[in-house]
Structure formats: structure tokens, C-alpha cells
Amino acid sequence: MKRVLIATEKPFAPSAMEQIKGVLANAGYEVKLLEKYASKSDLLEAVKDVHAIIVRSDIVDREVLDVAKELKIVVRAGAGFDNLDLAACTEKGVVAMNTPGQNSNAVAELAIGMMVFMARSNFKGGPGTELKGKTVGVYGCGNIGRRVARISQGFGMRVIALDPCVTKISMDPYDVTVVQSIAELFSKSEYLSLHIPLNEKTKNSVNFELMNRMPKGATLVNTARKEVIDEDGLKKMLEERPDFKYISDIIPSCHDELAAKYELRYYSTPKKQGAETSEANVNAGVAAAEQIVAFFENNDQTYRVNK
């Protein structure tokens, strides 16, 4: 019998859990659950006898893979797979997958909500501005970026876009101008929404030089990853540009300093919540379970992300 571990430091919503377990039970698989675990040793113990793992942002590194002797597949229920050591997975013959698109609407809605929050003085009663007529730059044109583009248009915003990883971007049927360079994207964006993956190319890539190109009064929105921001550059930017605002769904290392100094120009959610909707949990969790079943039953590797 196949054993599937659901290891989520940040658990799925109860409605999602019910459906995920249903998919696995229907296939005749045994489900092991490790939620809200306090230490890595709990994860190391839990993976020992399982054939498959479903995780969210939980780290699956070489140490985990070393003890998971029976493991054949790990699925990241979500988009970004920077938490999986892909090289180690490949070395050990473990298939790694993500569930692209399944939580993208939830993240996109949060990104837009963050723009409104900053435009309306953090909902603290002060005067604000509107999104209508403003230019939003979408940096990263995957499922989330495209969804942000679409919703922004509903607000009457102009949308420009660029993707750092692909040269030919399909934004059809969106009325989006694809700009020529990252510099141009930042220079023209009154709101800039980050939807780039974390990898060697993007790490620390949003630096002072880029941020400082943004127009007066600009807001940078980060629902991607903390590590894509050069935090020294961010601190310098907030210090030198009293018009600049930064809002993030991932707490920066320098959070306490920024929160103390820039009450209305900086905000971070206390815990990453972009994909924290029951809909996104159901979509991503069920997709992960179905992908595991399809892999074991039919060797379906459609969403494989390691070579």
C-alpha cells in the first residue's frame, strides 16, 4: 500500500484536508499527517516510511531526502518550488512536482488588496488615492502575474509587464504592453507587483538601482519571495525616497526597523497569506493528491519540475 505524508507547517484548511484525504483514500492509499510541526526532526521522523510527500513551503532538502528511503515523489502544493532541493531529488530518483496555477487567484487578489491598502493610507483614516488611471507593472508573467493584470484592468489601471525568465510572453487576451527592459518596467510603474520565482538569477535582483527608477509616490508590492529583494537597497530606498512605499506578504529580515521607522510607507503581513484561502488550499491540495495518484497509477509526470 502506498503511504502519502502531508507535511504542512502551515496546514491546509479543513475543507481542503477532507478532499485531499478523499482523493488518496479512493486510490487505496494510506495518509500520514504532520501539521504545524515544531522542528525539523519531526519531519525527518515522519518521512522515513512514506512513498510520497505533499508539502507547502516546507523545506525538502538533502537531509530530508537522505532519510526518506522509500520516497518516489514529492509535490509542492503551490507554485514556487524553491523549497525543494531539485538536484538532490534527481540524484535520489525522486520526482518533484508543483501544482501551477492552483493558488494563483488567491495571491493575485492579495496583491491587488495590498495596492488598495497602501493607496488608502493603510486603512487608518487618512486621505488616499485611487488605483484607476495608474500604471501597474507586472514583473513575472506566469499564472499570478496574468491574473493581476486582468484584475488591475478591472480597476481601470494601465498594465505593463515583463518576465525575467522568458523572452516571448503570451499575455493574450490581455491588453498589456510588454516593455523592453526591467529598467523600463520599473521606471514606468506607479505600482509594481512582483511575481518572479526565486532562483539564482532573481535572488537580490530587486536592488536600489531598480527601485530608485520608480516614479514619485510609487508602491512596490511583494507577494513573491523575500529573497528577491536586496534588503540593504530597500532600506536605502525608504530612507532616501520619502515618497516610496513597500508592502510585502513575506516578512523581511529588517522588518522591525522598517515597521518602527515607516508606519504608513511599509507594511508586512505577519505570516505569508497569499495562498491562504480555502479555495486555493482545495485547488492546490487536491491537485497535489491527484498528481500523486496519476504518477503511481499511470507514471504521469506532467508537472515534474526536476530533470
d(CA 225, CA 276) in angstroms, rounded, equals 15
Reported as half-sphere exposure (CB side, CA atoms, 13 A), residue 279 has a value of 9
Least Cβ distance, residue 305 to ligand 3PG (angstroms): 12
CB 84 within 8 A of CB 96: yes
57 or 291: CB nearest ligand 3PG: 57
Q: In terms of DSSP bridges, do strands 177-178 and 219-222 run parallel, antiparallel, or are they unpaired? A: unpaired
Question: Which region, judged by CB under 6 A, interacts with ligand 3PG, from 31-39, 73-81, 120-128, 261-269?
Answer: 73-81
Give residue for cell 538601482. Answer: 209
C-beta of 87: minimal distance to ligand 3PG in Å?
A: 19
Among 24, 47, 50, 78, binds ligand 3PG (CB under 6 A): 78
Closest distance between ligand 3PG and the C-beta of residue 145, in Å?
A: 13
Q: Cβ of residue 260: shortest distance to ligand 3PG, in angstroms?
A: 27
- Long-range pairs, 176-183, Cβ under 8 A, ≥24: 176/138, 176/149, 179/137, 182/139, 182/210, 183/210, 183/213
Q: Which residues of 251-264 are buried (b: 16+ CB within 10 A; e: fewer)?
A: bbebbeebeeebee
Interface positions, 9-38, toward ligand 3PG (CB under 6 A): 10
| Residue at shortest CB range from ligand 3PG | 78
Cβ-contact 54, 264 below 8 angstroms: no
> What's the min distance (Å) between Cβ of 10 and ligand 3PG?
6
| Closest distance to ligand 3PG from the beta carbon of 85 (Å) | 16
Please report how close the Cβ of residue 68 comes to ligand 3PG at its closest, in angstroms: 20
Nearer to ligand 3PG, 79 or 221 (CB): 79
Would you mind telling me the total number of residues written for the chain in this entry?
A: 307
x-or-dash string of contact with ligand 3PG, 247-286, rule CB under 6 A: -------------------------x-xx-----------
- Helices (H), ranges, 13-159: 14-26, 40-46, 62-67, 86-91, 104-119, 143-154
Cell numbers linked to 41: 526532526
- The reply to whether 56 sits near ligand 3PG by the rule CB under 6 A is yes
Residues from 80 through 139 that contact ligand 3PG (CB under 6 A) = 80, 103
Bridge partners, residue 159, by sequence: 136
Decide: is 75 part of the binding site for ligand 3PG (CB under 6 A): no
Q: How far is the CB of 121 from ligand 3PG (least distance, A)?
A: 27
Torsion, Cα 178 181 187 192, to 10 degrees, reads 60
Name the pairing type of β-strands 219-222 and 266-268.
unpaired
Nearest to ligand 3PG of 172, 200 (CB atom): 200
Does position 57 interact with ligand 3PG (CB under 6 A)? The reply is yes
Span from 63-71, 72-80, 109-117, 236-244 in contact with ligand 3PG (CB under 6 A): 72-80
Please tell me the distance from the alpha carbon of residue 296 to that of residue 283, in angstroms, as a whole number: 20
Residue ranges in contact with ligand 3PG by CB under 6 A = 10, 56-57, 78-80, 103, 272, 274-275
